[in-house]
Structure 1
């Protein structure tokens, strides 16, 4: 088989001259161009059969591209002296040599290329600076893209209009400069460009990304002020996603920019974004209490604004689980009308918090007396019903706890909720849950049954206590035996209970899952206690080892209990019920005590 050499001759057509490119660039020529080796390059020029001017690299870079990338001014001028036409030769990315110099940030090369005597005219420079690569980027674009501020400033001064040209990503050089925080360059661009460009609306069209958003993204308040002082209309532009300037400032967390926009352009508070929400809704979804406070301070009626699906700011906070915003609204008496408002689907904020399983939000709303938990949505269900439906359809610890919170309060179930047909996915999920719990219960039964007959310490062999447990008088053994028996019987009852779930009745399945989950929680906890006390018993003669075993077991038991608490509704109800009631009693006692004096 013939071996292929990377540098073998390849025939291709030169786009500009109609001449054949002999081969990929000779390594010696490539090294000479990259190193700026003038003498080596001049020797290569003398070889007419392998002229360096007709050779390109694998990415179709000419020797002029390589010299420009590398920053060798003398070599660039030498090449242009012999072949000025290489100036217009593009590589595989569509980059001219001027692009190459701008990418590398070599200002001296840029000046040399644009000031070469044979092409020294204003019209020629402008035409070159308007040339774009495959990403529709001019030399000014690539200079800013690579953070070469001096090169960008030089190129802009030669052709100011280019600063408004959008590339393939719809980013103009002005956008890039604003995002990078180049204040001086932004001032130059806005001074020269806005006057010319705003007249034909190219900066106010959807063809370019908003420079205001770029300044907000760059978190530079000086750049933002410079842009808006020159052209205030830009503040009303939206980005490609339909996000307004104020909403965008909130989203990126640029609070200084938020304050500036609120002070200078408060009317933007009433500007909807692409999803139909107002900036105050965005602040609510992001949990920015300070921003909400500032908005309401300037425009109190902003509390009445309804966004997507007719939702107020409390709806949005509850849906996104922003407990801080919810608590702020609950504590602010002027915002009381928001607590029980409904959206287009009839959902209150409590409904949305319950549906999405945000436990802290559900707790805050449930235990507030002004929140009406009796309200039903358009489907005829209460918040408690909504939480129960979500919990049954998809097992989630957060959704289960949310349901328990509502159950532990006075939140009612609907008397006649609309019937809902169970989806095939829900049925499949229930069956999988039943099978999984059944398998676990059988495994626990097997393990605890075996442990009951392989007692730590063994059995006595002497009469009259033959066959009795050797360590039966030890407290640790007694704890081992009791906990093991509880684990065994709980898992057996859970297994038998789950057999009934195989009949397919929905109510029976729900009942079986709830009871079996509780019993398996008990059995797993008791099995852990059994193992801990058993191991502690057999190593009790080694004091330090016995303490380590006990400590490890207790830590694991605490973790297990914390994860198992949601399986015991009465514990959750007690934990949720006592703190608010205790605070009420303390408050009443304190108020009565104060009146006496």
Structure 2
């Protein structure tokens, strides 16, 4: 009866797997204890019956057997060291099976798995609300047990995204500050670390007597909930916490780091790791980024047990942008954005690589603008098309000539300016390359600004030439549309090119300032907007 095959299955295992109720009932009546024996996958016949959803009533027959749960068997581990059928019922999200197990074998509710913890741990981790409600009635003591990581079931509820499960715990245990895991973290710490803004929002709305002991408590590393949200790049969690006036923004942890400092640290790490993967495919990039950047900045020197949390690049920089506006210490711009000078040899090597490309760009712009200067846009032959008797055309003749002259002067000015700046850049590059190589670095920096400026001017000259071409057109809507589109692209181009024109030290500060605003706007438009809309629709659906 207890003989096993190569898979570790007893005859009772195979009877359950094949759905043979009569045989299973016969076998368990002869040796009831086998119902708890595990195969090589740590699954007992009882577990398999639950996993199959009590198919053909086999689970009922197994539960009716009067055998006690074996603690030890000679040829393998018994149930306490294998997978619990209660955990299988929770995985199936079946309250009915839990009720069957509780009525027949209530002791099974107390079995703890090595990896998953007790039944309340597992039900809380997957957000199984009905299961948590049932287990809190039948197995209330399980809420006071910790798993291998030192977490209580309420901590695992805060890791999941179900605020309803957390509500169930807080209704039963309104003293949440007493649930501290082995790292000294309360439930708000855990919710912030995993970025569960739904849970955080719910906790912050509770009675101040419950919330205040959680908001600014430190864990064993001196981190408060806001520190963890910032250090793990959880933008929504950081936003919800930092907007609460009761949360302290500028306190330091045991490493003397504020939440803003941690966000800055992890964003730098994320940026460096992401920059190394530019030439990889999207899948390879994501795999390498997640594997290498899984430990947050605030825990790289300590315990690395939290390596399952991957830091997202955009999450890190968006979190930094949020804290820049709400929790940034008062510092000068030079302190916030220090300018890092390149090593001279590295800078020269880089300059040699870009000098040739920059020279080609300058010559191309010069050639295009020179061609445009010798082929001036001419006045459309409007006078040939004007009917001498048409007084309306005669009245507009003078105004068209005046507009043509103004547009032509503007075109000539921008075209000549673009030609001049590009030629200056090309000459300086040639001069530094052949005569004075030691001046290549400043020459390239200056010429880069000149080439960028010439491109902007060339676009402006092209816009004026288009306006001249449309001067005699009767398609007024087309002319307005082209003008609006051209102006928009001109401003966008100027915005992109402007940082390359100004000095490099000022460019770095300006670029980082702009990025904070851009990421902050992106956060509101997409990340926060999506979350807010989801919450609003969920409330209305109720």
Query: Shorter-chain TM-score: what band?
Result: 0.5 to 0.7
Match of 1:141 among 87, 94, 97: 87
Distance 2:5 2:77 in 1: 26
In the TM superposition, residue 525 of structure 1 has moved relative to its aligned partner by 1.3
Name the counterpart of 2:163.
Answer: 219
Match of 1:121 among 67, 72, 79: 67
Relative to 1, partners in 2 of residues 1:273 and 1:310: Cα closer, same or farther, differing over 3 Å? same
- Give the secondary structure class of the aligned counterpart of 1:309: coil
Name the counterpart of 1:437.
Answer: 358
Distance 2:326 2:136 in 1: 50
Match of 1:131 among 76, 79, 82: 79
Name the counterpart of 1:237.
Answer: 181
Give runs of aligned pairs for residues 188-587 of structure 1, distance below 5 A: 189-190=135-136, 193=139, 195=141, 203-204=145-146, 206-207=148-149, 209-216=151-158, 217=160, 218-220=162-164, 221-226=166-171, 228=173, 235-238=179-182, 244-250=186-192, 251-253=195-197, 254=199, 255-260=201-206, 263-264=209-210, 266-269=212-215, 271-273=217-219, 276-282=222-228, 286=235, 288=238, 291=241, 296=246, 305-307=251-253, 309-312=255-258, 315=261, 371=330, 373=332, 383-384=333-334, 387=337, 389-390=339-340, 422=343, 428-456=349-377, 474-499=405-430, 508=439, 511-544=442-475, 545-567=478-500, 569=502
Distance 2:319 2:360 in 1: 28
Asked if residue 178 in structure 1 is aligned to residue 99 in structure 2, the reply is: no
Distance 1:303 1:111 in 2: 55
Name the counterpart of 1:463.
Answer: none
Contact kept, 8 Å, 2:50 with 2:89, in 1: the verdict is: yes
- Give the secondary structure class of the aligned counterpart of 1:246: helix
Which stretch shifts more, 552-561 or 357-366? 357-366
Which stretch shifts more, 154-163 or 121-130? 121-130
Distance 1:364 1:487 in 2: 43
Distance 1:98 1:489 in 2: 86
Q: Residue by residue, what CA displacement relative to the aligned partner does 1:170-225 show, whole Å, maximum 9, x if unpaired?
A: 44421222245555643554565564895xxxx23535643122222321243221
In the TM superposition, residue 146 of structure 1 has moved relative to its aligned partner by 3.0
In the TM superposition, residue 511 of structure 1 has moved relative to its aligned partner by 3.6
Q: Residue by residue, what CA displacement relative to the aligned partner does 1:378-426 show, whole Å, maximum 9, x if unpaired?
A: xxxxx52773524x55xxxxxxxxxxxxxxxxxxxxxxxxxxxx28666
Distance 1:18 1:474 in 2: 99
- Give the secondary structure class of the aligned counterpart of 1:272: coil
Higher relative contact order (CA 8 A, sep 6+): 2
Aligned residues: 415
TM-score of the superposed pair, with normalisation by structure 2: 0.59
Relative to 1, partners in 2 of residues 1:515 and 1:188: Cα closer, same or farther, differing over 3 Å? same
Contact kept, 8 Å, 1:130 with 1:162, in 2: the verdict is: no
Match of 1:98 among 21, 26, 46: 46
Contact kept, 8 Å, 1:213 with 1:248, in 2: the verdict is: yes
Q: Residue by residue, what CA displacement relative to the aligned partner does 1:487-540 show, whole Å, maximum 9, x if unpaired?
A: 2221222233345665675xx566435433332232111111222333443454
Distance 2:6 2:83 in 1: 28
TM-score of the superposed pair, with normalisation by structure 1: 0.54
Contact kept, 8 Å, 1:64 with 1:87, in 2: the verdict is: no
In the TM superposition, residue 92 of structure 1 has moved relative to its aligned partner by 7.4
In the TM superposition, residue 484 of structure 1 has moved relative to its aligned partner by 2.1
Ranges in structure 1 where 5+ consecutive residues have no aligned partner? 1-14, 22-52, 68-74, 322-354, 374-382, 394-421, 459-470, 577-597
Relative to 1, partners in 2 of residues 1:386 and 1:293: Cα closer, same or farther, differing over 3 Å? closer
Distance 2:338 2:348 in 1: 16
- Give the secondary structure class of the aligned counterpart of 2:173: helix
Contact kept, 8 Å, 1:483 with 1:530, in 2: the verdict is: yes
Distance 1:510 1:356 in 2: 34
In the TM superposition, residue 310 of structure 1 has moved relative to its aligned partner by 0.8
Give runs of aligned pairs for residues 56-71 of structure 1, distance below 5 A: 62=14, 64-67=16-19
Contact kept, 8 Å, 2:86 with 2:101, in 1: the verdict is: yes
Relative to 1, partners in 2 of residues 1:423 and 1:160: Cα closer, same or farther, differing over 3 Å? farther
Asked if residue 76 in structure 1 is aligned to residue 21 in structure 2, the reply is: yes
- Give the secondary structure class of the aligned counterpart of 2:485: helix
In the TM superposition, residue 486 of structure 1 has moved relative to its aligned partner by 1.6
For the aligned residue pairs, the C-alpha RMSD in angstroms reads 5.2
Ranges in structure 2 where 5+ consecutive residues have no aligned partner? 268-316, 380-401, 514-542
Distance 2:323 2:241 in 1: 20
Distance 1:210 1:289 in 2: 26
Contact kept, 8 Å, 1:76 with 1:109, in 2: the verdict is: yes
Relative to 1, partners in 2 of residues 1:362 and 1:275: Cα closer, same or farther, differing over 3 Å? same
Contact kept, 8 Å, 2:35 with 2:45, in 1: the verdict is: yes
Larger Rg: 1
Contact kept, 8 Å, 1:137 with 1:167, in 2: the verdict is: no
